[in-house]
Chains A and B, each alone.
Chain A
Amino acid sequence: MTALVEAKGLKRFYKVGSGRTRGTLHALDGVDLSIGTGESVGLVGESGCGKSTLARVLARLVEPTAGSILFRGEDIAAIPLRRFVASPVRPRIQMVFQDPTESLNPHLTVGEAVADPIRRLTGVRDTAEIDRRAHAALERVGLPEVLIGRYPHQLSGGQKARVGIARAIAVEPELLILDEPTSALDVSVQAVVLKLLADLRDRLGMSYVFVSHDLDVVRLLCERVVVMYLGEVVESAPASALFEAPAHPYTRALIAAIPDPQRRGARPPRLDGSPKSPIDPDPNACRFYGRCPIGQPVCGTTKPPLKPVGAGHSAACHFAGPPAETLGSQGQ
């Protein structure tokens, strides 16, 4: 699989506070990410881990502080935001946002909302052609013709989600970035939207970056999963390997927290507390240290790099490996 996107050393810092409380918030701290053509990559982690920031940086909605994003070999991170809007790459990367109600303009009808990006991004000026493309996009997401004149408040949650997807695919992007696209939907509607996304990917050959806190959804839709913690990637693996043999203790804790009727009564160890502050983190310590169930003194003094632990599988932990192995190697 050739890489569509190759991101290297992505950083996004925010200056916070003033005077003596001044600091730098490391929202994204040196992330490498490669996305193959037609590949679906899931980004998971707790709130504040930087997954949404990464999605926005990749979509060029947020300027990275450092790093490069090679899109088909061209570094798009080097293009200033103002110029990027007019770049031919702009329509190639599209985003679907979390809340379908918040992300649609209440004053635009369904038809207008979908036609808008076509008019702005593709350079097509012919009204009939814009109309044709908008209709095609709406048809692809399964929205009936009668809804074209409706406003967002006249639609159900599932219909609004479809409009958000139709807008994004109307300009035929190669990379679709989805930020929690189903978290506001009921399970029955979520099922329909997930099937639609899988079907669109197969038919249009798009690559997906799928941000979600729901690991079950990621498991169903993604080939590869990237786990983030406090602005860094702690594990990256093919989905099946990640769920069957998670190598990082944080990933294991995340998986153990998925509700599971089979586990009823048996209480796996829970991950309590919250992550450390993302403001000026210790560059020499593992960011999970202190909350980690298997942390050792070395974790407080040497930061573990992301290293391979299997085929296409890497983890950033001194004691990466299945739980049993890790416990055995602790005494060494």
Chain B
Amino acid sequence: MSAPPLLAVEGMSLDFRTRDGRVKALDGISFEVQRGEILGIVGESGSGKSVSAYAIMDLLDDNAELGAARLDFAGADLLAGDRSALRGMRGREISMIFQSPRTALNPIRPVGKQIEDVLVRHGPVPRRQAKEKAIAALRKVRIPDPERRYDAYPFELSGGMCQRVMIAMALACEPMLLIADEPTTGLDVTTQAVILDLVRDLVDHSRMAAILITHDLGLAGEYCDRVVVMHAGHVVETAPVADLLARPAHPYSARLIAATPSSASSVDGLASIPGNLPNLLRDDLPLCRFRERCDRAIARCDSDPLPATEVAPGHLVRCWRPL
């Protein structure tokens, strides 16, 4: 990997101040997104997948305290400089799509107009040319009959169509990075396949890269190039996807893979993961946050900072006793 990455996150930590104390949501996470790839971020709810994306997008609430050794996007330092200028660049160059597209769209504005708004706000597109561009954006995500759909309200479209509108909106300014946060949760498998085929095509045939946040390892396996596994605010493993699925090195990744229904031939073959995520409010969180759920834990897991071991090219694991 000689080319500089499109996005570099290094040692990013994030705390939320709450009435009950500090929630240590992210603790020194690092990952990179290369140009032309789909990076998967997988993990259970509460592992920090979504807040990592929010941190990159500067969408965090006021009670968040973010720190990082490095947060670079396309050569620009996202930690330094004028926040509103950076915000403009984020809007143009990094787009995000969310779960439940119907709630993310404005219910009382036609979807075509909503795409126009994005074009006018972020691009040098004058209002009178915006309609044409918005229709082109709808066509690009293969919405049938885009001229008519331009005038449709979100409630008139199916969930899959709404998600395509979201993607059209996200892609309207031709961003360099698309962050998709569980984009197909709640959609049918048939629709999910069509939507993700589309994202894959866009990454393969344009300059765009993507981050796919998902809890579904099967999905990550089919569509991502590399995967980052998160657990309780830590990145525990980073690997090329085939390598991860075939030879997981972190005990948590291995359990997660074995708990996925597609990997098992019977219910008895399904693995479970003992315990729950540790409460991130705790002040005595162990150095390895998986330690209390791990059957391979040794004393060292809580006394020495976790090493990052490269077990194969591009395959990193943070564990004292990798598999």
- A residues near B (Cβ < 8 Å) are 46-47, 156, 186-188, 190-192, 194-195, 198, 213-217, 219-221, 253-254, 256-261, 263-264, 267, 270-274
Which stretch of B15-23, B118-126, B257-265 is in the interface? B257-265
Q: Which of A190, A214, A216, A254 contacts B190 (CB 8 A)?
A: A254
**A194 and B190 contact, CB distance less than 8 A:** no
**B219 and A259 contact, CB distance less than 8 A:** yes
| Nearest CB in chain B: distance from A273 CB, A | 7
Which stretch of B127-135, B191-199, B282-290, B313-321 is in the interface? B191-199
**How many chain-B residues does the 8 Å CB contact rule pick out?**
41
Query: Can you sample 29 A-B contacts with CB below 8 Å?
Result: A46-B188, A187-B215, A187-B216, A187-B256, A188-B44, A188-B255, A188-B256, A188-B259, A191-B261, A191-B272, A214-B261, A215-B189, A216-B218, A217-B261, A220-B266, A254-B189, A254-B190, A258-B189, A258-B218, A259-B219, A259-B262, A260-B218, A260-B221, A260-B262, A261-B245, A271-B190, A272-B142, A273-B144, A274-B158
A257 and B193 contact, Cβ closer than 8 Å, known pairs A186-B215, A187-B259, A191-B271: yes
List, in ascending order, chain B residues with CB within 8 A of A46's CB.
Answer: 188, 190-191
Give complex CA distance A196, B223 in Å.
31
Inter-chain pairs besides A187-B260, A220-B261, A260-B221, 5 sampled, C-beta below 8 Å: A214-B189, A257-B188, A259-B219, A260-B218, A270-B190
> B74 on the interface (CB 8 Å rule)?
no
List, in ascending order, chain A residues with CB within 8 A of B233's CB.
Answer: none
Which residue on A lies nearest to B47, using beta carbons? Answer: A186
Within 8 A of A (CB), among B134-186: 142, 144, 158-160
> B71 on the interface (CB 8 Å rule)?
no
List, in ascending order, chain A residues with CB within 8 A of B264's CB.
Answer: 220
- B residues near A (Cβ < 8 Å) are 44-45, 142, 144, 158-160, 188-194, 197, 215-219, 221-223, 241-242, 245, 255-256, 259-262, 264, 266-268, 270-273, 276
Which residue on A lies nearest to B193, using beta carbons? Answer: A257
Which residue on A lies nearest to B192, using beta carbons? Answer: A257
| Nearest CB in chain A: distance from B5 CB, A | 23
Give complex CA distance A322, B304 in Å.
58
Q: What 5 A-B pairs come out closest when comparing CB atoms?
A: A261-B221, A216-B261, A259-B218, A188-B273, A191-B259
| Nearest CB in chain A: distance from B240 CB, A | 11
**B44 and A186 contact, CB distance less than 8 A:** yes
Q: Which of B158, B197, B222 contacts A260 (CB 8 A)?
A: B222
Which residue on A lies nearest to B42, using beta carbons? Answer: A187
Q: Which of B45, B223, B267 contacts A220 (CB 8 A)?
A: B267
List, in ascending order, chain B residues with CB within 8 A of A258's CB.
Answer: 189, 218, 262
| Nearest CB in chain B: distance from A209 CB, A | 17
List, in ascending order, chain A residues with CB within 8 A of B160's CB.
Answer: 274
A264 and B192 contact, Cβ closer than 8 Å, known pairs A188-B259, A191-B271: no
**A253 and B261 contact, CB distance less than 8 A:** no
| Nearest CB in chain A: distance from B82 CB, A | 40
| Nearest CB in chain A: distance from B259 CB, A | 4
**A190 and B261 contact, CB distance less than 8 A:** yes
List, in ascending order, chain B residues with CB within 8 A of A215's CB.
Answer: 189
List, in ascending order, chain B residues with CB within 8 A of A273's CB.
Answer: 144
Which residue on A lies nearest to B264, using beta carbons? Answer: A220
| Nearest CB in chain A: distance from B277 CB, A | 9
Give complex CA distance A213, B276 in Å.
26
Give complex CA distance A15, B49 in Å.
44
Give complex CA distance A162, B222 in Å.
32
Give complex CA distance A260, B192 in Å.
13
| Nearest CB in chain A: distance from B4 CB, A | 27
**A257 and B189 contact, CB distance less than 8 A:** yes
List, in ascending order, chain B residues with CB within 8 A of A191's CB.
Answer: 259, 261, 270-273
A261 and B222 contact, Cβ closer than 8 Å, known pairs A191-B259, A194-B261, A271-B190: yes
**B190 and A257 contact, CB distance less than 8 A:** yes
Give complex CA distance A190, B218 in Å.
15
A216 and B262 contact, Cβ closer than 8 Å, known pairs A259-B218, A260-B222, A264-B221: yes
| Nearest CB in chain A: distance from B163 CB, A | 13
List, in ascending order, chain A residues with CB within 8 A of B159's CB.
Answer: 47
Give complex CA distance A87, B193 in Å.
45
Give complex CA distance A221, B192 in Å.
23
Which residue on B lies nearest to A185, using beta carbons? Answer: B45
Which residue on B lies nearest to A182, using beta carbons? Answer: B261
Q: Which of B144, B188, B197, B222 contacts A264 (CB 8 A)?
A: B222
Give complex CA distance A215, B262 in Å.
9
Which residue on A lies nearest to B275, using beta carbons? Answer: A188
List, in ascending order, chain A residues with CB within 8 A of B268's CB.
Answer: 195, 198
**A259 and B190 contact, CB distance less than 8 A:** no
**B193 and A270 contact, CB distance less than 8 A:** yes
**A261 and B266 contact, CB distance less than 8 A:** no
